[in-house]
DNA sequence: CGCGGCTTTGATGTTCATCAAGTAAAGTGG
DNA sequence: CCACTTTACTTGATGAACATCAAAGCCGCG
């Protein structure tokens, strides 16, 4: 479950140039010292919905999914996050408890910073707070827009949309090694597993994609984009 | 379209105690001087998707809707905002152009502040930036959760959900004077207008609500809540 | 008073979830 | 490493949910 704890080398951390651009070296040093890096294996739970928010967490490597458990006990996937898409940002400053869960889709490394330190830094340093706000705004905005996009599409449009999402946003490649099961895709786009599979098969028969298990190759991008746009 | 411009009395503005809690009187005074209040009539357009973001805008009185125009030319309603739910907050600090439109559902008063002033204040004053971030986070979080909630429900569940939203969040009353048409409700919950109306009629026949045109009275709250939860 | 948009209901066909049944793949314990 | 169990995947059949088309009444507004 919880992997080895160890200190990481913050010197080459990507956050330095973006997030901490306006924090002085001593500040970064202080945050860095309080930091814990944790290793997670594929499938491990990282954040549990309802738990208290005590750390400021970000993904250093790997891939994770954010999801909620609905009243009838099913999972609803909110987003898939790559490294440095801050996973604990959604409600971190406006809530005391997590409103969603996070688990690892691939082996992942999580960096835990001390939340109260971050809060203090934000309050003492407007530029830092502003940078953080911008980053936060960008991420939540992206997630919201995606949710709206999914909502207004029909089955085929949703499947096409999510394939393009993996190809463009997650892997930047027309060949995708799906990090999720068909069931999880269904949970992402709010459709039934069977119909996701059926749509995959249909796209395959129409020569839009090639399917080799979890590996999917987009061979007719224009068609897929048209379906995503207009169903 | 654009109403009378006039200076407002900032002394009793609600923002003073929440948003500007950590801005000194001189700062507030400065922001206040650069401010323009605008009157809008029901139906007026306030923000146009694609326009440049030049002001920091908030709703002082009235009711507005946030919406997007989809590729096939239809409206998709994102949220309905009450006074002091900041309408221009979604992408204001992470984008240069609006990604959605805003129009008035009731006669409304909008307060335009100078965006660059606000940015400067945020950068110079961490506590203010932090307060802003918190408020922003709360609002976008609420909108996102609502979108996810809508997405996972079926027709009846969505209609029940949106009625409860009006009753609880917008009017705080079991009797609602709908500020929107049936068509707009359909655009909000991503369903067809006819089926929204049909569901209204069904709820009426099942003695869950009473309908007098745009006035709706919830007479069986537990049933409506149950439908919202489990369809 | 007449026009256009909003509301309502019915009829029809499409889209979608669910059930069922079988195959493939992946994990588990001996 | 193999038998066993479980989970993931796939297709078909069926009925329920939903969009769309059509028609009529209503309402507000010029």
User: Nearest Cα to A91, choosing from B136, B6, B28?
Assistant: B136
Confidence of residue B93 (pLDDT cuts 50, 70, 90): confident
* pLDDT tens digits, B107-135: 999 999 988 888 888 888 888 888 888 88
DSSP B12: G
- Rounded to 5 degrees, what are φ and ψ at B177? -100, 95
Which two structure tokens, joined as six digits, stand for B35?
Answer: 């401010």
Phi then psi for residue A186, to 5 deg, are: -60, -40
Contact call for A71 and B229, based on CB within 8 A: yes
Q: What is the arithmetic mean of pLDDT over B89-101?
A: 85
User: What is the residue whose two structure tokens read 């984008």?
Assistant: B95
Which chain A residue's Cα is nearest to B93? Answer: A134
From residues 202-221 of B, which are strand C contacts by CB within 7 A?
211, 213-214
pLDDT, tens only, A8-49 = 567 667 777 777 878 887 777 777 788 899 999 999 999 999
Look at residue B9 and tell me whether its pLDDT is greater than 70.
Answer: no
DSSP-assigned beta bridge partners for residue B104: B64
At B186 the three-state DSSP class reads helix
Whole-angstrom distance, CA of residue B50 vs CA of residue B53: 9
User: In angstroms, how far is D13 C1' from A183 CA?
Assistant: 21
State which of B49-53, B70-74, B165-169 shows the largest mean pLDDT: B165-169
Q: Which helix H or strand E contains A112, and what residues bound it?
A: strand A108-114
DSSP state, residue B77: E
How far apart are the C-alpha atoms of A18 and A138, rounded to whole Å? Answer: 13
Q: Is B127 exposed, middle or buried (0-12, 13-18, 19+ CB in 10 A)?
A: middle
C-alpha distances in Å from residue B130, one per residue of A127, B20, B147, B197, B202: 11, 11, 26, 44, 47
pLDDT over 50 at B188, yes or no: yes
- What is the number of other CB atoms lying within 10 angstroms of the CB of residue B49? 14
A 115-144: CB within 7 Å of strand C: none
CA distance B19 to chain A (A): 14
DSSP state letter for A97:
B
Enumerate residue ranges in chain A where pLDDT < 70.
1-9, 11-12
Measured CA to C1', what is the nucleotide nearest B186?
D19
B200 CB-to-strand C distance under 7 Å: yes
Contact B91 A144 (CB under 8 A): no
Task: Write phi, then psi, for B190 (nearest 5 degrees).
Answer: 55, 50
Instruction: Please report residues of A whose CB lies closer than 8 A to that of B190.
Output: 151-152
Whether A222 CB is under 7 Å from strand D: no
Contact present, B123 and B129 (Cβ < 8 Å): yes
Chain A nearest-CA residue for B68: A148
Decide: B104 and B64 in contact? Cβ < 8 Å.
Answer: yes
Q: Which residue's structure tokens are 């169903």? A: A231
Q: Tell me: pLDDT of B5 over 70.
A: no
CA atoms of B69 and B52, how far apart (whole Å): 17
């Amino acid at each position: 479950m919880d992997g080895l704890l160890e200190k990481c080398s913050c010197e080459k951390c990507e956050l330095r140039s973006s997030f901490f651009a306006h924090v002085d070296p001593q500040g970064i040093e202080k945050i860095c010292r309080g930091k814990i890096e944790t290793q997670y294996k594929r499938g491990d739970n990282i954040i549990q919905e309802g738990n208290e928010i005590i750390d400021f967490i970000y993904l250093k490597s790997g891939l994770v999914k954010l999801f909620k458990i609905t009243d009838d006990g099913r999972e609803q996937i909110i987003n898939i996050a790559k490294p440095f898409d801050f996973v604990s940002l959604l409600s971190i400053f406006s809530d005391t408890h997590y409103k969603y869960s996070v688990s690892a889709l691939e082996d992942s490394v999580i960096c835990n910073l001390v939340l109260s330190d971050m809060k203090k830094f934000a309050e003492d340093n407007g530029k830092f707070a502003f940078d953080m706000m911008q980053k936060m705004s960008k991420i939540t905005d992206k997630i919201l827009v995606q949710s709206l996009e999914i909502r207004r599409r029909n089955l085929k449009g949703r499947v096409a949309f999510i394939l393009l999402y993996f190809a463009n946003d997650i892997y930047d490649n027309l060949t995708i090694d799906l990090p999720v099961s068909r069931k999880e895709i269904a949970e992402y786009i709010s459709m039934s597993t069977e119909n996701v599979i059926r749509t995959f098969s249909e796209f395959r028969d129409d020569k839009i994609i090639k399917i080799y298990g979890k590996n999917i190759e987009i061979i007719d991008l224009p068609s897929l984009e048209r379906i995503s746009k207009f169903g």
